[in-house]
Chain A
Amino acid sequence: MSSQEKYATISPAEFFKRNPELAGFSNPSRALYQTVRELVENALDATDVHGILPSLKTEIALVDEVRQIYRVSVEDNGIGIPPHVIPNAFARVLYSSKYVLRQSRGMYGLGVKAAVLYSQMYQERPLEVVSSPKGSKRLYMFKLKIDVVKNEPIILERRSVENPTGWHGTIVTIHLVGDWIRSKSKILEYIKRTYIITPYAEIVFKDPEGNVYYFERLTNKIPKPPKEVKPHPYGVDIEQIKYMIHQTDGKPMKLKEFLIKEFQHVGEATAEEILNKSGLRAGLEISKLTDADIARLVEALKKLEKLKPPSPEALSVIGEDLIELGLRKSFNPEFVAAVTRKPKAYQGHPFIVEVGIAYGGAITPQPEPVVLRYANKIPLIYDEGSDVMYKVVVKEIDWKRYGIEGDQYPLVVMIHLCSTKVPYKSAGKESVSDVEEIEREIKNAVQEVARKLERYISEKKKEMEAKMKLITYLKYIPEVSQSLATFIANKRDMQSDVYKELKAALTNLVLKRLNLNDVEKLQLDAYKVEEL
């Protein structure tokens, strides 16, 4: 081992600059995609979570053809960002408003900053932010960069102007070296899939080729926003408890009070049980807790028995009707069904699985069902093969059992996993790990909608069979009538009375046999028989 080896700490910003692939910025095409994603997700989080119907304007433009520098700009009509928060929110890694326990699209407080870091690695234009918080009379404009060594924002310019129209929201513009050609299909797919799960949003997207895509708002119904909740005892680790203690801002607090105040489902009795199991005193000042104490506390929390499962209030589902709406509008299928399952939990984290299915109609049959994966309303596009949702739909479900015939599937299966903690495989947030409880729940949910599909297909098959019977008879009746009438008229004559009489009588016989209702009988006249 070399004695020359140097040890140094690096800032989180430095760390992500050195390892951009961890956040999904591994090459120019992926970086462009990831930047769009981070900005769109922040824009949506600023709107629907706060009860605002989202209107998004997204634009990608090529500003330097030689260096392949693109400008990505996303405008939302959200709650805006207070001006004093803006520099940290965009230019300090791991600073986030999202360090609370409620479902949101972003989670690591990392995404947009990773985009900014990537942006300034290969070109010189700063990040531009324009924002006006709801109710503010002014518009605030910033030009920012990140001081990578210190993990601090560098404010290059800040201005504010009057906001006479009362507009609120945020416009973020990032320049970066990208690759539109290679990322085009993924970005379009990302926006389409975002729209499917957000049918209450209106989205305009302008691409570098000058195409403008407009996705109209399909409904004014917004899913119930998530509430902030306290952590569940099963769901915390040592670092989180340290963070929770830190958040009390040094106010004196005894351990027992801390447990009762800061955790879900913890009251007098449970708090006593925790203290017993951990061997810690109730009156211990939390600021005095050692790492070893906290470790024992975490152990004790996990050993609690008969605890209610974590509260699902922090979760925000899309709902069966919105899922069906999105699928119907986007795929024009002949059948859709959706299910939102009851909340479940894994390792102290609540989660809900929603599944939608679209079948037939305009869906082009494929060798495998199309799987639309979503986690906390974010579409997951890359790394499909390693995702548990894909695994369940394609590898574990035998679709033939649900009445799908042939080896091509005119089938789209949408899966939405909501959780305060989605178990992603990496910070790129593109695939969900095989957590046993989640996998089982996804399978149950898919099977539940698949049974609805099965009922539909079998009903349709029955209807088709009945219809084919009718069609068979209707096809033959004129021929049979004409042939029999020949024995009376001595020639084939469709004008003869006997022909008409036989045809009517045979039709009546068939109607009686098939037990048609009156509506179906009325439709009969519209069927025409021709001969060639």
Chain B
Amino acid sequence: MTEFVSKIDKEKRKQAAELLRSHYIKLIEQVKREEPPVLEIPKRTLTNTIYDKERKLLLLGPEKLRRNFLDLNEAKKFMQTVLMASIIYEALVNDEYPTIRDLYYRGKHTLILREPSGKSYEENTWDEQDESDDVIVDIEVYTKLLREEMLILSKEKGKVVGDMRIRSGNDVIDLSKMGHGAYAIEPTPDFIEFLDYNAEFVLVIEKDAVFQQLHRIGFWKQYKAILITSSGQPDRATRRFVRRLNEELKLPVYILTDADPYGWYIYSVFRIGSIQLSHESERLATPDAKFLGVSMTDIFGDRSKKPYLTEQERKNFIIKAKDVDIKRALELKSYEWFKTKAWEKEVSMFLEKKSKLEIEAMASKGLKFLAFNYIPEKIKNNDYIA
């Protein structure tokens, strides 16, 4: 089967298998030396999450947990972790591409211990996928291998179009020749090779529908943009792809979301990383990403800026903020990386007006307004929050 598999997959697979193996061979050696086997894993807790102001990244701190098999409270987690590692390793050496769901099923079985009396004790290796997903993350943190590097696939969520050529697997893809469709960003964006491009910035849009509208109206052609959608909360592949465009091609990244705390958090995940996955921020986050909008001042204006919406439009398009939105806003306010002047202004304006707005509202005012007026003007005027 391997003759059709891309060269890069083969190489990456070999690297990952070796690295994974070297980490677990350590445990085997411990056991052979009659030492209790211990996994030393950086702690994935909020208290061990550090915001690196310099690099503008959320990173894992120095705290580590020692998962000792002989510690009764850790024994099961230990068993689950080595079980999962062995399944991933097997998949790697057998040229497979499991998903996290596959891994869940492969490892799930019942352990039965039968006492001399005949009484038996049963326990499942794991019951819910949460449990197996959790140890996958532990393995990523422990080996510093991301799941993508271990050829674990997931659903493709992000899409991209633009005047750019890339190599994916053994093929060259022209991202400007995707017709009405778009290129689905593969789960292993590190395996992509950037060939050539003719673009000046990257525009990331939260909403898939708005992405399609901008694509078909020719936005990226007119403004030399790489157009990307995350279809909501971004997956890891989209975040890594955006980061690579920014880091390797030095393209500025603008992010356009709804004007509400949920949209802000999407921006925050692109820029800083998420708390749950802070171990991967170093490679997934784009600290330079800019929040283009929709901002509160776009809606309401301020002393130095005219609003993009008229009184009548505001009346029609604004949605009243719900209690959960308010709660979320207050939560975001407490995060270190939202403690900038611009963000404090944005959040307090939201709390004051108790109003939110979807990007679609801007498109409703007119797609042309959005594509040829609102977006280019804001970029030109540096009217964004960084």
Task: Kindly state the separation between the CA atoms of A480 and B27 in the bound complex, as whole angstroms.
Answer: 11
Give the segment of A24-32, A95-103, A385-393, A499-507 that binds chain B. Answer: A499-507
Please name the residue on chain A nearest to B114 by beta carbon.
A528
Chain B residues whose CB sits within 8 angstroms of the CB of A502 once the complex forms: 28, 31-32
Interchain CB contact under 8 A, A529 and B112 = yes
With A475-B111, A529-B112, A532-B112 as known contacts, state yes or no: A492 contacts B86, CB within 8 Å: yes
Q: Which of B69, B89, B111 contacts A486 (CB 8 A)?
A: B89
Contacts of A479 in B (CB 8 A): 79, 83, 111, 125
B345-368 contact mask (Cβ, 8 Å, vs A): 1 or 0: 000000000000000000000000
Checking B20, B27, B70, B85 against A510 with a beta-carbon cut-off of 8 angstroms, the contacting residue is: B70
Instruction: Encode contact with B along A468-486: 1 for CB under 8 Å, 0 otherwise.
Output: 0101111110111011111
How many angstroms between the C-alpha atoms of A255 and B113 in the bound complex?
A: 82
Q: Is B217 an interface residue (CB 8 A)?
A: no
Q: Which residues of B contact A181 (CB under 8 A)?
A: none
B4 at the interface (CB under 8 A from A): no
Docked-complex contact A491 and B90, CB < 8 angstroms: yes
Beyond A527-B113, A531-B112, whether A506 also contacts B32 by CB under 8 A is no
Name the distance in Å between B150's Cβ and chain A's nearest Cβ.
14
Residue B130, interface by CB 8 Å: no
- CB-CB < 8 A to B82: which residues of A? 480, 483-484
Number of interface residues of A (CB under 8 A): 37
Residues of A within 8 A of B69 (CB): 476, 480, 506, 509
Let me know if A530 and B112 touch, CB within 8 A. Answer: yes
- Tell which of A486, A487, A492, A526 has the most Cβ of chain B within 10 Å: A487
Does the CB pair A484–B114 fall under 8 Å? no
Residue of A nearest to B72 (CB): A469
Query: A501: shortest Cβ distance to chain B, in Å?
Result: 7
B110 at the interface (CB under 8 A from A): yes
**What residue of chain B has the Cβ atom nearest to residue A501's Cβ?**
B32
A508 interface residue (CB < 8 Å to B): yes
CA–CA, A224 and B37, complex, Å: 64
A529, B31: Cβ atoms closer than 8 Å: no
Partner of A505, one of B32, B76, B116: B32
Whether the Cβ atoms of B110 and A487 lie closer than 8 Å is no
Please tell me if B65 contacts chain A, counting CB pairs below 8 Å.
no
Q: Which residues of B contact A529 (CB under 8 A)?
A: 111-114
Q: What CA separation (Å) do A472 and B74 show in the bound complex? A: 11
Give Cα distance in the complex from A288 to B349, angstroms. 115
CB of B75 within 8 A of CB of A472, answer: yes
| A306 contacts chain B at the CB level, 8 A cutoff | no
Q: CB-CB < 8 A to B90: which residues of A? A: 486, 490-492
Contact A487 B21 (CB under 8 A): yes
Flag B1-38 by CB within 8 Å of A: 1 or 0 each.
00000000000000000001100110110011010110
Which residues 107-162 of B sit at the A interface, judged by CB distance below 8 A?
109-116, 121-123, 125
Report if B241 contacts A (CB, 8 A): no
Closest B residue to A530 by beta carbon equals B112
Chain A 445-494 interface residues, beta-carbon cutoff 8 Å to B: 469, 471-476, 478-480, 482-488, 490-492
**Given known contacts A472-B75, A484-B28, A491-B90, A531 and B110 CB-to-CB distance under 8 angstroms:** yes
The docked-state distance in angstroms from the alpha carbon of A513 to that of B68 is 12
Residue from the list A478, A482, A486, A526 in contact with B116, Cβ < 8 A: A526
Is B28 in contact with A530, judged by CB distance below 8 angstroms?
no
Q: Contact at B31–A530, with CB atoms within 8 Å?
A: no
In the bound complex, do residue B76 and residue A476 qualify as a contact, i.e. CB atoms below 8 Å apart? Answer: yes
- Complex formed: what's the CA distance from A319 to B191 in Å? 85
Asked if B178 CB lies within 8 Å of chain A CBs, one says no
Interface centre among B21, B111, B113 (most CB of A within 10 A): B113
Q: What chain B residues lie within 8 Å of A4 (beta carbons)?
A: none
Which of A473, A505, A532 is B31 in contact with, Cβ under 8 Å? A505
- Chain B residues positioned under 8 Å from A185 (CB to CB): none
**Contact (A486, B72) CB under 8 Å given A471-B113, A471-B121, A531-B112:** no
A523–B114 Cα gap in the complex (Å)? 12
A148→B113 CA distance, assembly (Å): 75
Q: How far is the CB of B86 from chain A (nearest CB, A)?
A: 4
A282, chain B: closest CB distance, angstroms: 76
Give Cα A501–Cα B33 distance, bound, in whole angstroms.
11
Name the CB-closest residue of B to A473. B75
Contacts of A530 in B (CB 8 A): 111-114
Instruction: Give chain B residues whose Cβ lies under 8 Å from the Cβ of A471.
Output: 113, 115, 121
Indicate whether A527 sits within 8 Å of B116 (C-beta atoms), given known contacts A476-B75, A480-B82, A487-B28.
Answer: yes
Q: What sequence of 0s and 1s flags, for each residue 305-321 of chain A, a beta carbon within 8 Å of any chain B beta carbon?
A: 00000000000000000
What 1/0 flags go to B80-119 for Cβ under 8 Å of A?
0011011001100100000000000000011111111000
Shortest CB–CB separation between residue A48 and chain B, in angstroms? 40
Alpha-carbon distance between A526 and B86 when the two chains are bound, in angstroms: 28
Q: In the complex, what residue of chain A is closest to B76 when comparing beta carbons?
A: A476
Q: Is the Cβ of B27 less than 8 Å from the Cβ of A484?
A: yes
- B121: chain A residues at CB < 8 Å are 471, 475
The reply to whether A483 and B86 form a contact with Cβ atoms under 8 Å apart is yes
Bound state CA distance, A300 and B386, in angstroms?
A: 106
Q: Shortest beta-carbon distance, A391 to chain B, in Å?
A: 39
B78 at the interface (CB under 8 A from A): yes
Q: Which residues of A contact B76 (CB under 8 A)?
A: 472, 476
Interface residues of B (CB under 8 A from A): 20-21, 24-25, 27-28, 31-32, 34, 36-37, 69-70, 72, 75-76, 78-79, 82-83, 85-86, 89-90, 93, 109-116, 121-123, 125
Beyond contacts A505-B32, A528-B113: 9 other A-B pairs, Cβ-Cβ < 8 A, are A471-B115, A475-B113, A475-B123, A480-B78, A487-B24, A491-B90, A513-B36, A530-B111, A530-B114
State the A residues within 8 Å of B (CB).
Answer: 469, 471-476, 478-480, 482-488, 490-492, 498, 501-502, 505-506, 508-510, 513, 523, 526-532
The 10 closest A-B pairs by CB, nearest first: A526-B116, A532-B110, A483-B86, A486-B86, A483-B82, A476-B79, A530-B112, A528-B114, A475-B113, A487-B24
- 13 examples of A-B residue contacts, CB within 8 angstroms: A472-B76, A474-B113, A475-B113, A476-B78, A476-B111, A480-B79, A483-B83, A484-B27, A501-B32, A509-B36, A523-B116, A529-B113, A531-B110
